[in-house]
Chains A and B, each alone.
Chain A
Amino acid sequence: METVRVGSVEEFEPLPAKKVVKVAGEEVGVFRLDDGFYAWRNNCPHQGGPVCQGRIYNRVLETLDAGRRSLGRRYDEERVNIVCPWHGLEYDIRTGRHPGNDGMALEPVAVQVQDGEVYVSL
């Protein structure tokens, strides 16, 4: 396993922030949310798209009232997704999982912060 420096913590601002890097031919997306860093391989399990090079969207929810009637959609302020730019598949940046299919998930990469620097290990 090789550990490489991705950048300083300050480079990951404003939140949510990301940086997509290439290490020995492997592409990795490193994300910073308000509770820490996450890293995933830049490979969508759907068709191999460059998922980490997509845009970041908050998860969409639908609100129902007490009578189960729809009140429309809204953004979830906590859960943040990365969206594959090829076909739009979304993955929770914290869990790597597709919000509608637990069996579809990104491949994790170990990430850590030390002395203000961000590292990934492949």
Chain B
Amino acid sequence: MDAVIRNAGAMPVQEMGTETDTRDYLAHARAHARKAGYADWTIVDIDAHHVETVHWHEIIDYIEDPVLRHQATMYQKERIGAPPYGLNGDLGLRYQDVGGRIPHQSSRREKVDEPGVHLDVALTRRAMEALCVDYMVLFPTPMLFIGMHPQVEMEAVLSHAYNRWLAENVLSAEDGILSLAVLPFNSPDAACRTVEEFGANPNIIGFTVTSTRYKPVHANEYMRLYRMIEETGKPIAFHAGYHWQDPSLATCNSFLGMHALGFVWCNLVHMTNWILNGIPERFPKLNSLWVESGLSWVPFLMQRLDDQYLMRQSEAPLLTKMPSDYMRESCFYTCQPLEKSSEVGLKATLEMINAETQLLYASDWPHFDFDAPRAIYDIPFLTEDQKRNILGRNAARLFNLPKKDRARKAA
């Protein structure tokens, strides 16, 4: 053996766990950011998550109805072993971490000792630093199921409380922590109220429909809502989710199969109704954003709808061009989770959706299938200009975001 020169230094974190600091967890992403020179790039993460139920005891204080607020307070105070007050969901069917293989999905119990700073602000700042993003748009997590709530009124009550809590405690333009208000979509009037209340808030840059629900997005009762959102100049987003109790998805015996289909299925249905009923024709200035379904479903649906539309145009008389034209021109997409096992398929997908203008980067951090910015940066057939558009410029244009301070990002 050659002469031993020195001892190898042990890495400070030998095994990532639920208590690992976000910055350690994402150190490789930060190293890539330095190497790629992201300090000079505008990077906007359109879909990251926090776990709002950790703070449910705070959120219930924002319930307007005094009786429900009192019930919620008593429930949170005295009920043992129960999920958050009033919230529907899938209880223990949350296998995203693959049996402990992906700890950051399960929880982030890292030490945070920043007096006066909300926990979610601290955690979001750490993720932004590691991923080198200028803006991070937060979405809730368990509340993605709220469209399946059996009590329509409670969807409105909890959505309103959450939106207010988030706006007052977590969002900050200075930090670049933004969000899209959750619409209680099963109550059109309450959804309109959400637009009235948050339409002018600069930290609320759009409005979210949690896609897991059984409401037709083309119903006449939603036209006032779409008009109001269009007038704000902000987009409407359809954030995908799954619903394992859906009779078709209930045939899937693995989270793998159910999740792969579920996160696409809801947006496939909503997009079909959105396009065939001519919503882009009725509201030409209303931009729609399709979040967290990946991308490979889009070329499938474009081809499928185009093929059928030519034979049955009389069933979609509001359309003046092919369905795929609307999907390419008035719809925006977030990339995550980017399906990249086939370079041929990915290239065709990005061309078909006109990714250069319509595609927005999203990390989905801290979820198990998150994408760091290099998911886009490493695509071999994109030019640097195209990468810069996808990673930030397209979002900055869509949301009218001001440029951030370069010096702070480079630090």
Do they bind each other? Answer: yes
B11 with A85: CB separation less than 8 A: no
A21 with B4: CB separation less than 8 A: no
B5 with A4: CB separation less than 8 A: yes
* Contact indicator per residue, chain B 144-175, by CB within 8 Å of chain A (1) or not (0): 00000000000000000000000000000000
Contact of B15 (CB < 8 Å), options: A2, A7, A21, A54: A54
Residues of A within 8 A of B374 (CB): 47-48
Segment with Cβ contacts to A, from B98-106, B135-143, B400-408: B98-106
A53 with B8: CB separation less than 8 A: no
Residues of B within 8 A of A48 (CB): 28-29, 32, 372, 374
* Contact indicator per residue, chain A 1-27, by CB within 8 Å of chain B (1) or not (0): 111111100000000001111110001
Q: Which of B7, B8, B368 has the most CB of A within 10 A?
A: B8
A119 with B4: CB separation less than 8 A: yes
Contact of A3 (CB < 8 Å), options: B2, B16, B102: B2
B103 with A85: CB separation less than 8 A: yes
Majority SS at the chain B contact face? loop
Count of A residues near B, CB < 8 Å?
Answer: 36
Residues of B within 8 A of A2 (CB): 5
Residues of B within 8 A of A18 (CB): 14
Majority SS at the chain A contact face? strand
A47 with B371: CB separation less than 8 A: yes
Whether B10 sits at the interface, judged by CB under 8 Å, is: yes
Identify 13 new A-B residue pairs, CB closer than 8 A, beyond the known A3-B4, A4-B4, A21-B11. A2-B5, A6-B8, A23-B9, A28-B8, A48-B32, A50-B28, A53-B13, A54-B16, A55-B16, A85-B101, A86-B370, A87-B102, A88-B101
A sample of 21 inter-chain contacts (CB < 8 A) reads: A4-B7, A5-B4, A6-B8, A18-B14, A20-B10, A21-B8, A22-B8, A23-B9, A27-B11, A42-B11, A47-B371, A47-B372, A50-B16, A50-B28, A85-B101, A86-B370, A87-B368, A88-B102, A88-B368, A90-B101, A119-B1
Binding site for A on B (CB under 8 A): 1-2, 4-11, 13-16, 25, 27-29, 32, 98-104, 368-372, 374-375
Binding site for B on A (CB under 8 A): 1-7, 18-23, 27-28, 42-43, 47-50, 53-55, 57, 83, 85-88, 90, 112, 114, 119-121
